[in-house]
Each structure stands twice: as C-alpha cells, then as structure tokens.
Structure 1
Amino acid sequence: MKKMKKIKLLVALTLIVGLLTACGSNNKATETANAGDKKVYRTLDEIKESGKIVVGVFSDKNPFGYVDENGKYQGYDIWLGDRLAKDLGVEVEYVSTEAANRAKFLETGKVDLILANFTVTDERKEVVDFALPYMKVALGVVSPDKALIKDPEELKGKTLIVAKGTTADTYFTKNYPDVKLQKYDQYTEAYNALLDGRGDAFSTDNTEVLAWAIKNPGFTVGIESLGDIDTIAPAVSKGNETLLNWLNEEIKSLGKENFFHEGYEKTLKPVYGDSVDADKIVVEGEEI
C-alpha cells in the first residue's frame, strides 16, 4: 500500500510540474508576442535626446550613396542626410544597407531613417512610411555597345542582371517572365557581373545606369526610361509619425531654398555633366 501511495504521489507531482512548465511556456510565448508588438523605432524627441540619428544608405551606389577612398560616405543621399542631422541638431551615423534590406532595417529598428535611393511603391507603403520625395526616377537598361539592348523585347531569352529587392527586379519579374534574371545583393557585384560578361544587360534606376555608363566606355544605356516615372523619398518605420511629420516640413523648407538643385550641382552634375537635365531628376519639396 505504501508503495502504491508513493507511486500516486510521484504521478501527482509530475502532473503539477508539467502544468507549471506549460504555464511558464505560455507566459514566455505571450511575452514574446507582446515584445513583437512593441515599437522598435525612436521618436523625434528620443532621437534629439540621444544626440544622434542613424541613417541607412548605400555604400556602393555612386553618385547617390558610396564610400570614397578615405572611407567617408559621399553622394546625393549623403548630402541630404548631413543637412537633416544638422537641422535636427544631432550627429549622423550612416549604416550601409543593401536594396533588399532597406525595409527590414526600419522594421527591426536598426536605423531611424532610410536614404538609400528608396523608390516609393504601393507594396513598400504597407511596411514603411515615406516622406515627401526628393527625386524622380524610372528604370534604365545598360548593356555592351557590341550587343546594345534598345528594347525590353530584345531581352527575351537573354540574361538580365538586377539587384535583389529593387524595382527592376519586381518590374521584369511581373512584365517579362521570359527574361532570365540574375540577381545580386550588392550593386558592385551586379556591375562586375556585367563587366565580366556574365549577363547581357543590367537594369536599375536610370539615374544610376546613366552615371555608370559615362564612367565605363564600351557600355551604353540603350533604354533610358522604362516603366512608370516613380519618386524616391526618405522612409521611416511604420507609425513613426513624429519623425515623418518633421521630415515633411523639413523637405518643404529645403525646397524653398532650392536645396535639392544645389545638391544636384555638388554631387550629380560632376558625373552627368550636361547630358542630363536636373529638372528631370530633382524634386524640390513637393508631392508629384
């Protein structure tokens, strides 16, 4: 009888421990779920109090965002980022991002702001909030002069190089499924693939391929404008209204002083020369 009582006691204790463990697991799951609901972004006041704004930019997309020979970030996006930090009264920390990681960096709170040639699309609006635009853009296609691509139909059965997560990736996947896409994380990798002959052409923002072709003899932008005319704008974490509202007012103010045309003259015209009309690229503090 004593042995039976001991067995029953052990069974009861096991059941109690199991129930406690299960409750503990549920609590942890609840805590994890709640943690996922917490805001990951910093408000405008929190950024000011910290004395620093963290901005995601490209490090290999000359002349918009790149690292020079001295290890310093340069380009049109940096021109804007430096001014935003100055007017906020804080320092700026630039964090290198890839095209496919831009939204993720905001969703996880890794950066406060994205200034990485981020084209505004309906899909992206679902996961990030865009401020007023500061640039206009369409897609372009660059290819070797000896086999110049002048029409997207000529790409059928050929290999087109794109960067993952870009509007070019989305556009050709949707509209030209017969075109074989060769995708890369980094723009440097994509351009090297074109130089090495691993693809027949490369597509990204027309503003960028025009600049790249100027610096790389033997290559020409055979398609200068493809798809819709889109806009490029700063992006913040979804729901970060204080930072978004400040950005919109700041961009309007900068537009009144012709800030973005000045930025074009300083960072883009040395690359484009007179081959590109600034008004076809620059947006001065307004919705279009």
Structure 2
Amino acid sequence: MRTILFSAPPARWPQYEVPLRAALAKAGIAARLVNATEHPERVDYIVYAPNGGLSDFTPFTGCRAVLSLWAGVEGIVGNPTLTQPLCRMVDAGLEEGMREWVAGHVLRHHLGMDAHIVNPTHDWAPIAPPLARDRKVAVLGLGALGQVAAGALVGLGFDVLGWSRTPRSLDGIACHHGDEGLVEVLTRAEIVVLLLPLTAQTENLIDTERLAWMPRGTVLINPGRGALIDDDALLAALASGRIGHATLDVFRTEPLPAEHPFWAHPKVTVTPHIASETRPESAARVIVENIRRVEADEPLLHLVDRARGY
C-alpha cells in the first residue's frame, strides 16, 4: 500500500480529501492518504501546494514524485532539496476557468462595456466598437492555458497573435517567437494577454521599453504571474496614456497590499487571483493519473523541466 502525503495549507485538506480518495478508489490504487506524518521516509508521493509548511524534501527518501496543485511552480522548482520528479497542475478545470476569465475581460475592453455600466454623465454616445475580426489581440505564452485562451478568442472572431519563447504552430493564430517576434506582436496588438510562466527570462518582461512598443491606448490583461510586469513602468505607462487600462489578476505580493497604488488607480482593475482556480475534483483526477503512471512505469504528465523552470 502506498502512502500519499497531502502537504498544503490546512484549509485545503477538507476540500481535497474526499475527491482524492474517490479518484484513488476509481483507479484501483490502494493508498494511505495523510496530511501529516512522522515517517517521511515511508511517503511514496507528495501532493504539494505552497505555504503548507514543507520546504525540505530531504527526509522523503522514498518519494517517487511531487505533484503540485498549482500550475505555477516558480516557488519550488529551484529548491535544492527537491530531487524527486516534479509535476505541475494542468487540468480541465484550470483550462476552462482561464478560457472564461480571459474571454470575459477581452470582450469587456473590446466592447467598451465600462462606459455603459458606469455612466455618471448620462452620455448618449452610440459609438459601436469594431467587430472582433478587426481587433488584434495578443496572447503571450502558448502553453496549455495560453492555447485554450487564444483558441477561445479565435472562436469569438478576434484576430489573434501568439508569442512564445520557442516556435509554435496553432490553427487560426499567427504565432511568433523570439525577440523579433515579440516586437512584431507588441507593436500591433490593441489588447495584450499575459499567460507566461515566471522564469528568469520572463521576469519584468513587460518593462518600460516593451510598454513603449505598444500602440497608444493598448489594454494589458495579466492572469499569468505578477512579476511578468514592472509595476513602476506600468504606472508610468498608464499615466502617459500609452496603456489605456490594465486588468490584473496576479501580483508580486498577494494579497495585494492595501496601500498599493493599483487599488485606487482609475485605469486599473484588480481581481483577487481568481482567473483560474484549481478545482479539487478535476485536480484530484490529474494527481491520481500521475500516481497510476508511476506505478505502471509510464511517463508522467506535465513533468517540469528544471532547466526551463516550468
């Protein structure tokens, strides 16, 4: 019988215990699921989320894989004590949640909905937006979440540009990569969606120089990682009008401190890291599938490349 340690903030245990046990039973895997142990050497798998109290993986000498509940692994991937295989979370719930959040906020800015929802001057201004096919939207990051978000925007009729560090080819999306590709995408897009992982190469990617490449009035939407954007550079770009609005779901410090200027800024929308929450039922199925794969000596899903950081 295998032992699975659930290492996450205590509030997560009652959310995940039943779905994990159900998924294990359905897969026919006999396992002890625990949220604490005095015998780390007997643990076969760790289900992990940050802030659960686990930072030293050295005692887990028998652990066969660490299975993250989060899509982002920047907080753990550089841990020198983590020598076991690490898998990040990619599941249908995450993908569907991100698709809906991105589509909703792109449509909000494309249609100019704020002017109609909040109209204190009672202006009657029947100015129609362009059709989606005439609006260029860029998605930076074409991994699992970027692909589903970009695909949804294509389905709505938008002219979608994609950018990734390495070459991609996706139906309906004009894909670009590398430094030259980033210039091409950012100089053309009217709405920019950030769905990149946070690595040494992507931290502060959206800085003063790259903000200046964007057409005046560009909308920036970030459900990826807070540190993709230089906050001070963004505030300056908002003040100059280079960026027309920023809708931000992720931040360098979370919760976003009460004194942060983003809260009161008239051109910033703050959402509390809700673009795509891990759903216990669907996440449990992914976790158990990876356990089944290890037991069957099959390749792991969503295995993290330590050199790339994701």
Q: Same fold (TM over 0.5)?
A: no
> Would you tell me which structure has more helix in proportion to its own residues?
1
Considering only CA atoms, is the larger Rg found in Structure 1 or Structure 2?
A: 1
TM-score, scaled relative to structure 2: 0.30
TM-score normalised to the size of structure 1? 0.31
